[in-house]
Chains A and B, each alone.
Chain A
């Protein structure tokens, strides 16, 4: 396992999310649409108040809540059983991020960067350079970071609101 795999696994994870969300479509199609999405973003940025971006940020917020809730619930149970505190805390972080995303606040990015950074520190503290061991710890949280970066055009700085 090496950084190459981190890329490969991220792609695979993106496939999985695609498969779950839209089973009727082919994986290849999903992959293509993600790539188109990214390139559109790079070349023809629409306005930060664009409807599509607002929808994307909101959809991502819902996805994060769907991941965050079981993490909080299961994580609390894990704490009760004497296990790791990471999952409950990470789940909380995801939900807070989701709320800010839904409100289209740039704060969502900064909060999630903290969650992601702490996740990386925790992950290396737990398993070091065991790259297979890092798959569940780093891949999904990093994919989430990439998705938040993609919907950045939808986010506003607090002063922009007034």
Chain B
């Protein structure tokens, strides 16, 4: 691949498109609130990402590299939300800590409050999500809270907990009692299927916490990938946090839908959705929404212009109007499922004149890290352009000629070579070398092909995925865990796919029992096929490029790492493989080898003022404390199941706690459980 780094900062600056501002008259427009003071991270963990800016940094410093060896479990809390046989769970739970309580949602959206020091349950509220609503897997990454200044102290739902559910509802309950907020929507629930179209359980599901800015609850949803171009819309909607009334909708396919589609119509189908957490700036009144790829990931011909404009973009929306202010497209005309999955982070960062300005950091699945002035979208770190290869593409005329790339920092490694192929013996290694030579591969921008498989590296798991990065604003470091493994994919001609019996989610599934709801079986995991119904091609995705027969990855380790990056220069300070081989081996045999290998990981880190980064994420089911200065693992504990969740840190009665959801992850194959584990220092 030819890298032609050209400083093209100006080129990538994109002002918001001139959308028609003549919105229809809006009767009973809910009040637009002024900026309110936001809770601080410290004793509490008031936002999914810790602070309002989602830095995943705790200013607590009781636990240090010197005493971390004395950590012990404070409590293990089971959510009691466990999968029925055959159901797939990936809870990914990250609680908030407010006052003395931890509030969280379980995999199937049970809202729970527990005592933050003892793990004793205060209350729970089960919104009753049906198993059929589970998409790839049941997940609820987090909840958000909102305190309404105009309500009297002690009023019901003065402070409310709000979540989005797998069956596409917003649920609001009182922080103190768990009782549904009577003033919010229909007795504490708002139906997000409104305006989406035909209701297919599991196709449209919320798994991320909503972003609440100036009293507006902003949410997108996960739309199950690769079913049909005619898929639920990726519309982003803002609801009044008290009444649950729709304030605005941003449908990038049709700006006229800003107050909802006309009777009998839907929001534009198949547009890019935002399944991950956004971030908000209360002062500016902006919400930053990371968008994914349109509904058909691996084939682009026929996408409408608005999709080509906004897909895979970070979009700054004015939360008072729902109108875009600026956006940055991280992948043009994506055909790789490089959704923006990482929650962006707000920070102060120097501009060209050396003045600290309000900034936003965006890590991507390709591994690139970008920083922008969050008021204007002006890049604060250099951005280049690379030519994108088109050989063997099924749609070379449609593909973008060039792609943006961060010249400041990327987590992406060098392209794979034949000698990077792996196995346990020369025979399986040779099989992988044959597959390597047999495939189409011209670096990370190799387009999908049908004649042969193509290598997609980094894979759709990143680079950086939904765990995102943590930032140490004092030591001036970014701590980024990342995946480092390829996928081995191939387009399948429609006729062949139909013969294989590949069916989209909305088709009747004859042989599936009640125990195999939508989302089980095909769709994710090792070798899976996405139907891309009514397109010329379906697609076969071998996630992690597992070898035939053995299941051993074809690429040599490491498969994931964690890295500290100098926030001022973008240079790597340290970089270590993340995870040991204890749970890995050929034919699914656990080797119990305690050596570091570097594993696939999902979930992020928390970095503390005490000088430690805490992270689970890797598929060895260990929770570890890492010296933020050196990358050395100083402490670890074996979790009950995989820690594929973002850990947090908080304080109760002068004691610092660290907590992680250790409930496993179906796609990462790390068990299925319901445990939330908290640690503090031995007394």
Binding site for B on A (CB under 8 A): 1-2, 5, 8-9, 12-13, 16, 67, 70-71, 74-75, 77-78, 81-84, 86-87, 90, 126-127, 130, 132-133, 135-137, 139-141
Contacts and interface: CB of A to CB of B under 8 A. Distances in A.
Nearest to A136: B429
A91 B472 CA distance: 53
A27 to B, nearest CB: 9
Interface in B405-434: 418-419, 422-431, 433-434
Interface string B65-88: 000000000000000000000000
A85 B278 CA distance: 51
Contact of A132 (B425, B427, B429, B557): B557
Given A5-B595, A12-B585, A12-B591, A84 B428 contact: no
B473 to A, nearest CB: 35
Contacts of B306: none
A83 B437 contact: yes
Interface string B538-577: 0000000000000000001110000000000000000000
Contacts of B427: 67, 70-71, 74
A78 B434 contact: yes
Contacts of B438: 81
B434 A136 contact: no
Among B425, B430, B431, B433: residue with most chain A CB under 10 A: B430
B247 interface: no
A139 B424 contact: yes
A82 to B, nearest CB: 6
B550 to A, nearest CB: 10
Contact of B556 (A12, A82, A90, A130): A130
Nearest to B598: A132
B436 A83 contact: yes
A107 B426 CA distance: 23
B130 interface: no
Given A71-B430, A90-B426, 20 more contacts: A1-B595, A8-B593, A9-B593, A12-B593, A67-B426, A75-B430, A78-B433, A81-B434, A81-B438, A83-B433, A83-B434, A87-B426, A127-B419, A132-B557, A133-B556, A136-B424, A136-B425, A136-B428, A139-B424, A140-B425
A133 B420 CA distance: 8
6 contacts: A12-B591, A70-B427, A136-B423, A136-B426, A137-B426, A139-B424
Nearest to A13: B424
A87 B597 CA distance: 25
Nearest to A131: B595
Contact of B419 (A9, A16, A126): A126
Contacts of B434: 74, 77-78, 81, 83
B396 interface: no
A137 B424 CA distance: 8
B296 to A, nearest CB: 31
B521 interface: no
A90 B427 CA distance: 11
A12 B581 CA distance: 13
Given A78-B433, A78-B437, A83-B418, A132 B424 contact: no
B556 A132 contact: yes
Contacts of B433: 78, 83-84, 87
B17 interface: no
B124 to A, nearest CB: 45
Contacts of A136: 422-426, 428-429
Contacts of A137: 426, 429
Contact of B430 (A2, A78, A127): A78
Contacts of A82: 437
Contacts of A90: 426
B430 A81 contact: no
B586 interface: yes
Contacts of B429: 136-137
A5 B581 CA distance: 11
A124 to B, nearest CB: 12
Nearest to B593: A8
A107 to B, nearest CB: 23
Contacts of A13: 424-425
A133 B422 contact: yes
A81 B426 contact: no
A67 B426 CA distance: 9
Given A67-B427, A71-B430, A132-B556, A5 B586 contact: no
A140 to B, nearest CB: 4
Contacts of B428: 136
Contacts of A16: 424, 586
Nearest to A66: B427
A133 B426 CA distance: 11
A76 B104 CA distance: 57
Contacts of A126: 419
A82 B427 CA distance: 17
A140 B438 CA distance: 25
A123 to B, nearest CB: 10
Nearest to A20: B587
Given A16-B586, A78-B437, A83-B418, A140 B556 contact: no
A33 B608 CA distance: 52
A127 B428 CA distance: 17
Among B433, B557, B558, B597: residue with most chain A CB under 10 A: B433
Contacts of B419: 84, 126-127
Contacts of A141: 426
Among B427, B437, B557: residue with most chain A CB under 10 A: B427
B102 to A, nearest CB: 39
Among A71, A78, A141: residue with most chain B CB under 10 A: A78
B489 to A, nearest CB: 19
Nearest to A9: B593
A87 B425 contact: no
Of all A-B residue pairs in the complex, the 6 with the closest CB atoms, nearest first, are A81-B437, A136-B429, A140-B425, A87-B430, A136-B423, A132-B557
A71 B426 contact: yes
B436 to A, nearest CB: 7
A133 B585 CA distance: 15
A12 B584 CA distance: 12
Contacts of B424: 13, 16, 135-136, 139-140
Interface string B430-471: 110110111000000000000000000000000000000000
